[in-house]
Amino acid sequence: MPIPWKRRFIVFVQRFWQPTSACMSCMPGSLGNLLSAPHWLLALQTGLLTGVLALVLTFTPAGRLFSNRYGNALVVGVLTMIGDAFSHPGHYGPTGLEPALTGIVSGLLALGGSLVFEDRAKRLRGWWARLQR
């Protein structure tokens, strides 16, 4: 069954913000870099490249992985590694360390986001209700 365009748009947006956030958190430097335009440009490049790769994947049988929580996290992590490696050179350590770390963080963000916000944030509302007791 083909994936509808609305779902493809959602996949693109989610795969854009998760790598961008992961890239912002994994790039070396102080917290002052959060306000740095070049820092944001690199993070947005990574997110955009990852989002485009994810959008292309929705046209293949691998697009079904986005409907599974763990498959989604794995695909997002791998795509983020690819996007980060191609968008800029690493800033620290051996070649590939920064893209791998960024991919792992992005995959964990995707997994955490699916656990918390799935089913109209059912788990989040449940946790909030327990805190209110």
Name the residue with tokens 């070049």: 38
pLDDT of residue 74: 93
Mean pLDDT, residues 56-75? 88
Domain with 115 in it = 5-132
CB-based burial of residue 60 (10 Å sphere; 0-12 exposed, 13-18 middle, 19+ buried)? exposed
How does pLDDT run across 17-44, given as a tens digit for each residue?
878 887 787 776 656 677 788 888 888 8
Task: Tell me how many domains the chain contains.
Answer: 1
Is residue 2 pLDDT above 70, yes or no? no
Indicate the pTM of the whole model: 0.75
- pLDDT score for 78: 92
Q: Which pLDDT does position 7 carry in this prediction?
A: 83
